[in-house]
Amino acid sequence: MTTERNGLTRQGFLGGALAAVALGGGGAAAQEPRPAGALHRRPIPASGETLPVIGLGTWRGFDVGEAAAERAPLREVVATLLDRGGRVIDSSPMYGRAEAVAGDLVAGLDARDRTFLATKVWTSGREAGIAQMNRSFRLLRTGRLDLMQIHNLLDWRTHLPTLRAWKEEGRIRHLGISHYTESAYDAVEAVLRAERLDFLQINYALDDRAAEERLLPLAAERGVAVLVNRPFGGGGLLRRLAHRPLPDYAAELGCASWGEILLKFVIGHPAVTCAIPGTADPRHMAENLRAGTGPLPDATLRRRMAATLPA
């Protein structure tokens, strides 16, 4: 039976998404019409709303104090994201002061209506979870969050009923789960199969492709949007590549840096909704956003990129 979800049929979405996964294409031809140079956008299956494919993570970089010298570059990062068409800002209570900093900067730019604010619950117990999430609302300076995620599946059976109730009440717009370690993928898969979720946040990169074996296809099958953390990989991949010449396919993709190449690989997967690289540098924010424009790698090029990754 086909179910309607705010004008987008689950059957219709899955038909296109699974066909794209099967082909392994970049999905550029399937994108909605947009001006030249604009960010690609992908739909949230639960609502039909589209999101730009590049967002912003706040881990480490946004854990700063109130000094103007510390916050000025972060204000420029957020302004660059929004001015160039990005929307998603992801945070967490485990990121130190990042929620408060992000909330202050968005409010200072009078930009709440241009942002898609996502954060997480990361504690055990119903009352502790409610208290922590209420604190996130206050720190992010909003009465309604776009996405609340159960981080690392911590006490997810306890928190999920609260999130469902809050979604019904309109306090949150979407709910999901997040993780960043491959050892937890079996548990993540089990929750994806058992529960109706709107989002999955997971690690995925050119040197960290385990998620594409089961989790990314399953997310497409289940109609779950995917946020990708750690899109530059682990173990200093970007640093290792920084001084190597760009591969010959860089020009084909319109890439001027390894960072853009790594991001194009990630968002080239049709199950990926948005990559959220963290940065505290406005120049890097602009570079990341450039990766969300122009050609995306097709199945053949993605395989070539994976096969030729330098050691």
Residue-level pLDDT, tens digit, the chain, 311 residues: 333 333 333 334 444 444 444 333 333 334 455 565 899 999 999 999 999 999 999 999 999 999 999 999 999 999 999 999 999 999 999 999 999 999 999 999 999 999 999 999 999 999 999 999 999 999 999 999 999 999 999 999 999 999 999 999 999 999 999 999 999 999 999 999 999 999 999 999 999 999 999 999 999 999 999 999 999 987 688 888 988 999 999 999 999 999 999 999 999 999 999 999 999 999 999 999 999 999 999 989 999 999 988 76
| Residue 130 domain-assigned (yes or no) | yes
Q: State how beta strands 41-43 and 50-52 pair.
A: antiparallel
What are the φ and ψ backbone dihedral angles of 284, each rounded to 5 degrees?
Answer: -70, -35
Burial class for 132, CB neighbours closer than 10 Å (0-12, 13-18, 19+) = middle
CA gap 41, 244 in Å, rounded = 30
Count the domains in the chain: 1
Q: Which domain holds residue 50?
A: 12-304
Q: Look up the pTM and report it.
A: 0.89
CA gap 178, 85 in Å, rounded = 25
| Residue 94 domain-assigned (yes or no) | yes
- Identity (one letter) of the amino acid at 294? G
| Residue 4 domain-assigned (yes or no) | no
Residue 189 and residue 164 in contact, taking contact as beta carbons nearer than 8 Å: no
| Residue 151 domain-assigned (yes or no) | yes
| Residue 6 domain-assigned (yes or no) | no
> Domain containing 23 — which CATH number?
3.20.20.100
Residue 53 and residue 42 in contact, taking contact as beta carbons nearer than 8 Å: yes
| Residue 133 domain-assigned (yes or no) | yes
| Residue 250 domain-assigned (yes or no) | yes
Which residue in this structure is represented by tokens 């970089």?
61
| Residue 70 domain-assigned (yes or no) | yes
